[in-house]
């Protein structure tokens, strides 16, 4: 029986993780769950899974739901609660699935306690990749990818040597506006941005996919997860999201991972690794799909991807600032304060005012994150 904790249990990844638990009740027990504001779903989850520890976004929400929490479940709130759920139970596997760099403290706490991490929260690696991977190495902790592209690469690397890898290619759907020109992007709405062509995901990630920031975050995530230099990481437009990513080896062989766009497949793989369990997910029929399409990335059309590569190569606090500026810009777009194209303007402007610091410790990273947030909010 694997004991798990889910950080971000009410979100897209969190609910699908709990679906996997429901499909394999004899394999998993939920020791902890943490969420933000969705108290109705959170209370349902607490009553269904009876974790030892549960945490909600803030004290006010905790007081509101306390009478609905069954005996035997300890209720926490806020950042302290996230850390309690991530690190303070008997769970041996923690699924890190909140959104944004808020995922950093609980992920570091779980690693410190030696827990295996299923890492969906890419912002954690982009914000402090060297700290997260350094601590994981020191503690002998596995960071198992959940992001579909990284799970694909991880699967393609099984039994292979990294020395034989010529390059890896992350596929990109192109997002909600892939058929639009930059001129047409001036007038797009929030509602349109939230319609991803292939995946059902949280709002922030869906917007990131439309700006191609998501692929930029994923390039940096791949650098940290697989220890590859940026010139070995490639991106290819693939509108169907069937080939989730692939690895090219030095003998000319290419190994790809394919599947229907269903996150329960990579989530379950991380939860059961190195075993594979049965899954109810829809099977891929290539005959039904018929054709797959591919196109070189256009870095003029998607400047945020170019910026992400640049920040990744600079390293240090550059990626921290890239991520934090984006988080604030996306939140502002979702509040309808700024038009879509200003997301990239804000990221670019904040980066242009930042002097990156190398080999930054956690305090320096957090200061850079806060500075970028304040700057992005003020523009």
Ligand X SMILES: CC(=O)[C@@H](O)[C@H](O)COP(=O)(O)O
Ligand Y SMILES: NC(=O)C1=CN([C@@H]2O[C@H](COP(=O)(O)OP(=O)(O)OC[C@H]3O[C@@H](n4cnc5c(N)ncnc54)[C@H](OP(=O)(O)O)[C@@H]3O)[C@@H](O)[C@H]2O)C=CC1
Which phi and psi (to 5°) does residue 290 adopt? 80, -70
According to DSSP H, which parts of 71-103 are helical? Answer: 78-87
Contact between 210 and ligand Y per CB under 6 A: no
Report CA 130 to chain centroid distance, whole Å.
Answer: 17
Is position 202 an interface residue for ligand X (rule: CB under 6 A)?
A: no
> Which of 201/220 has CB closer to ligand X?
201
| Binding string, residues 15-44; x marks residues near ligand Y by CB under 6 A | -------------------xxxxx------
CB atoms closer than 10 angstroms to residue 234: 19
Neighbouring residues of 169: CB distance < 8 A, sequence distance ≥ 6: 234, 235, 236, 245, 246, 247, 248
The DSSP secondary structure of 200-223, one letter per residue, reads ---HHHHHHHHHTHHHHHHHHHHH
Q: Residues annotated as binding site for NADPH?
A: 10-13, 36, 38, 121, 123, 202
Stretch that binds ligand X, among 94-102, 168-176, 250-258, 353-361 (CB under 6 A): 168-176
> CA–CA separation, 73 vs 290, rounded Å?
50
Determine the interface stretch with ligand X among 84-92, 100-108, 171-179, 279-287 (rule: CB under 6 A): 171-179
| Sheet containing 116-119, strands listed edge to edge, beginning at the edge strand earlier in sequence | 74-77, 53-56, 28-34, 2-7, 93-96, 116-119, 143-145
Binding residues for Mn(2+) are: 147, 149, 218
Total residues contacting ligand Y by CB under 6 A comes to 29
299 binds ligand Y (CB under 6 A): no
Out of 105, 129, 175, 303, the residue judged to bind ligand X by CB under 6 A: 175
H/E run at residue 116: strand 116-119
Which of 43, 97, 131, 351 is in the footprint of ligand Y by CB under 6 A?
97
What count of Cα atoms within 13 Å lies in the side-chain half-sphere of residue 232? 19
**Annotated binding residues, as ranges?**
10-13, 36, 38, 121-123, 147-149, 173, 196, 202, 209, 214-215, 218
Would you tell me how many other CB atoms lie within 10 Å of the CB of residue 315? 18
Residue whose structure tokens are 């059961």: 272
Rounded least distance, CB 356 to ligand X, Å: 25
327 binds, among ligand Y, Mn ion, ligand X, none (CB under 5 to 8 A by kind): none
Among 120, 170, 304, 325, the residue binding ligand Y under the rule CB under 6 A is 120
Question: Looking at beta carbons only, is 171 or 320 nearer to ligand X?
Answer: 171
Q: Kindly state the DSSP code that residue 335 receives in the 8-state scheme.
A: T
By the criterion CB under 6 A, which residues form the site for ligand Y?
8-14, 34-38, 57, 82, 97-99, 102, 120-123, 147, 199, 201-202, 204-205, 263
By the criterion CB under 6 A, which residues form the site for ligand X?
147-149, 172-173, 175, 199, 201, 205, 209, 214-215, 263
């Amino acid at each position: 029986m694997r004991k798990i904790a889910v950080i971000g249990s009410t979100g897209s990844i969190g609910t699908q993780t709990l679906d996997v638990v429901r499909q394999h009740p004899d394999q998993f027990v939920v020791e902890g769950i943490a969420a933000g504001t969705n108290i109705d779903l959170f209370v349902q989850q607490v009553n269904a899974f009876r974790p030892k520890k549960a945490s909600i976004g803030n004290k006010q929400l905790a007081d509101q739901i306390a009478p609905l929490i069954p005996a035997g479940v300890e209720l926490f709130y806020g950042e302290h609660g996230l850390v309690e759920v991530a690190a303070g139970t008997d769970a041996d596997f923690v699924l890190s699935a909140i959104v944004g760099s808020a995922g950093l403290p609980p992920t570091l706490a779980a690693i410190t306690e030696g827990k295996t991490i299923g890492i969906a929260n890419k912002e954690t690696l982009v914000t402090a990749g060297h700290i997260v991977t350094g601590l994981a190495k020191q503690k002998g902790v596995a960071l198992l990818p959940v992001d579909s592209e990284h799970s694909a690469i991880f699967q393609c690397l099984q039994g292979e040597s990294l020395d034989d890898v010529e390059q890896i290619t992350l596929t990109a759907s192109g997002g909600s506006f892939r058929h639009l020109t930059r001129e047409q992007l001036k007038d797009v709405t929030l509602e349109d941005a939230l319609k991803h062509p292939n995946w059902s995901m949280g709002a922030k990630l869906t917007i990131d996919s439309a700006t191609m920031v998501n692929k930029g975050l994923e390039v940096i995530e791949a650098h940290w997860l697989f220890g590859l230099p940026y010139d070995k990481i490639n991106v290819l437009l693939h509108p169907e999201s069937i080939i989730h990513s692939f690895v090219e080896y030095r003998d000319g062989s290419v190994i790809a991972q394919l599947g229907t766009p269903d996150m329960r497949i990579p989530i379950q793989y991380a939860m059961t690794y190195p075993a594979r369990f049965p899954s109810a997910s829809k099977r891929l029929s290539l005959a039904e799909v018929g054709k797959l399409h591919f196109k070189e990335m256009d870095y003029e059309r998607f400047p945020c991807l170019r910026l992400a590569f640049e920040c990744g190569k600079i390293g240090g606090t550059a990626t921290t600032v890239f991520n934090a500026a984006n988080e604030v810009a996306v939140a502002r777009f979702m509040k309808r304060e700024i038009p879509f194209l200003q997301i990239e303007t804000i990221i670019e402007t904040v980066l242009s005012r930042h002097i990156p610091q190398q080999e930054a410790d956690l305090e320096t990273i957090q200061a850079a994150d806060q500075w970028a947030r304040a700057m992005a909010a003020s523009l």
